[in-house]
């Protein structure tokens, strides 16, 4: 039965008839699974060797029924053959890279990407004999020039954090395919509502499920989604490295995914309205939001994305202290370093990067940059709150 995305988010990956007649997917809270007899062990091993979906569970580091439901749901929503869940988004990224890259390989990272991903590529991969090259995302056409005989993988993030830059996935995917490279994309900011990256030639999609997919700031999880052949060795590595999601987190993720479509559409609406408000405000120097025509990749975003997300970054007029005053004057958003949940969260990114101004400049983060991750509150209330906080900056500038 061909159904719409919102219907899939509720029903995909779940059996109609669950244990004990439960409506919600149960939390299977166990570390191991017992066998009735030796014959059942032999049957399990035959199914396992054949990678048969009928293979039952053996041990919780390899699989869990609650986790399996969440993985099936994610695969259906993203349009992939398989999905794998991990203990966090970074665990998903590091396990994927460590599995697909070997000593002597070379990988290209499109810049900017999440600072911890960049740190892993810069500090840890070279220790294993893996070379990396960083290429600005606006120079994607130069990818062909940096590919080497030992290049194995291209990694990108779209939209990027915090400036929300957009990678032209189809251009990069074309070059990757022509050169036999794996193209992996962190699409956490996009969500699988606004962007189905696999439909644009991407081989592997990664998400920090902690953010939009969970949606309630109450779980840590990471996801890798793609084809069976690429994910099989990553699944095997997960069993060795041990970065598994807990049954309770998997249950929370299943619950969060049921409302993903509703939440993200509201956050898209909030993002567009607030980005337009901020761009017109005299206390705001610049707004970063792919839904605005002023965004450098607005045309690419319109071509690839069905919505532009609930994160709006902007620079205020003034100094680091002015940005701090704005953050402190806001009444509705919480202050913190995450995004994607139902509550709005604001962050002055420079203070989370470093107290050293030079280090902040090296990271490309302006002292006056504010990242506003919008929740599902009413946009008019959020705008009123921003207006009163920004007005205090304007009033102060007039006094000085």
H or E element that contains 9 = helix 5-11
Classified as helix, coil or strand, 32 is: strand
Residue 371, Cβ density class (10 Å: 0-12 exposed, 13-18 middle, ≥19 buried): buried
CA angle at 59 for the pair 56 and 64, rounded to the nearest 5°: 65
Is residue 160 within 8 A of residue 112, CB to CB? The reply is yes
Is residue 196 within 8 A of residue 78, CB to CB? The reply is yes
* Helices and strands (DSSP H and E) totals, the chain: 16, 12
User: What gap in Å lies between CA 185 and CA 198, rounded to an integer?
Assistant: 9
Q: In what order do the strands lie in the sheet with 82-86?
A: 82-86, 222-226, 204-208, 182-186, 151-157, 106-111, 131-136
Is residue 143 within 8 A of residue 117, CB to CB? The reply is no
Query: Given 114, 212, 251, 289, which residue is catalytic?
Result: 114
User: What gap in Å lies between CA 83 and CA 69, rounded to an integer?
Assistant: 10
The Cβ of residue 288 has, within 10 Å, a number of other Cβ atoms equal to 23
Q: What is the dihedral of CA 44, 48, 51, 54, to 10 degrees?
A: 20
Q: Which residues pair with 136 in a beta bridge?
A: 111
User: What gap in Å lies between CA 229 and CA 227, rounded to an integer?
Assistant: 6
Query: Given 73, 82, 196, 211, which residue is catalytic?
Result: 211
Active-site residue flag, 145: no
- Among 111, 153, 115, smallest CA distance to 134 is for 111
Query: Given 18, 48, 61, 361, which residue is catalytic?
Result: 61
Active-site residue flag, 116: no
Q: Which residues pair with 86 in a beta bridge?
A: 222
Query: Given 186, 203, 261, 367, which residue is catalytic?
Result: 186
Active-site residue flag, 211: yes
Active-site residue flag, 289: no
| Residue 35 Rama label (left phi>0; alpha psi -120 to 50; beta) | beta
DSSP strand pairing (311-316 vs 369-373): antiparallel
The angle, 0 to 180 degrees and rounded to 10, between the axes of the packed helices 379-399 and 320-329 is: 140
What residues are annotated to the active site?
61, 114, 186, 211
């Amino acid at each position: 039965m061909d159904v719409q995305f919102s219907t899939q988010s509720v029903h995909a990956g779940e059996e109609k008839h669950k244990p004990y007649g439960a409506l919600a997917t149960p939390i299977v809270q166990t570390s191991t699974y017992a066998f009735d007899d030796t014959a059942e062990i032999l049957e399990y091993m035959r199914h396992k060797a054949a990678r048969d979906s009928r293979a039952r569970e053996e041990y919780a580091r390899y699989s869990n029924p609650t986790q399996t439901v969440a993985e099936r749901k994610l695969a259906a929503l993203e349009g992939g053959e398989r999905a794998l869940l991990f203990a966090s988004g970074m665990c998903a990224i590091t396990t994927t890279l460590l599995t697909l890259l070997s000593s002597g390989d070379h990988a290209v990272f499109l810049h900017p990407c999440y600072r911890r991903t960049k740190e892993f590529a810069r500090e840890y991969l070279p220790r294993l004999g893996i070379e990396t090259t960083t290429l600005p995302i606006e120079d994607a056409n130069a990818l062909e020039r940096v590919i080497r005989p030992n290049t194995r993988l291209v990694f990108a993030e779209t939209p990027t954090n915090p400036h929300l830059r957009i990678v032209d996935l189809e251009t990069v995917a074309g070059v990757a395919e022509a050169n036999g490279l794996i193209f992996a994309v962190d699409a956490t900011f996009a969500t699988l509502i606004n962007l189905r990256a696999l439909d644009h030639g991407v081989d592997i999609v990664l998400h920090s499920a902690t953010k939009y997919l969970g949606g309630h700031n109450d779980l840590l999880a990471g996801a890798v989604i793609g084809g069976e052949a690429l994910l099989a060795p990553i699944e095997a590595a997960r069993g060795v490295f041990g970065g598994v999601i807990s049954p309770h987190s998997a249950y929370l993720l299943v619950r969060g995914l049921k409302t993903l479509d509703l939440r993200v559409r509201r956050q898209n609406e909030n993002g567009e309205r607030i980005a337009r408000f901020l761009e017109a405000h005299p206390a705001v120097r610049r707004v970063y939001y792919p839904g605005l025509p002023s965004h450098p990749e607005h045309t690419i975003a319109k071509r690839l994305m069905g919505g532009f997300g609930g994160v709006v970054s902007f620079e205020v007029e003034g100094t680091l202290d002015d940005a701090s005053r704005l953050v402190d004057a806001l009444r509705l958003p919480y202050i913190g370093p995450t995004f994607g949940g139902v509550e709005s969260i604001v962050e002055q990114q420079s203070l989370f990067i470093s107290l050293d101004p030079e280090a902040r400049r090296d990271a490309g983060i302006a002292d006056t940059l504010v990242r506003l991750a919008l929740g599902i509150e009413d946009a008019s209330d959020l705008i009123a709150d921003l207006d009163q906080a920004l007005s205090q900056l304007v009033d102060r500038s007039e006094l000085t």
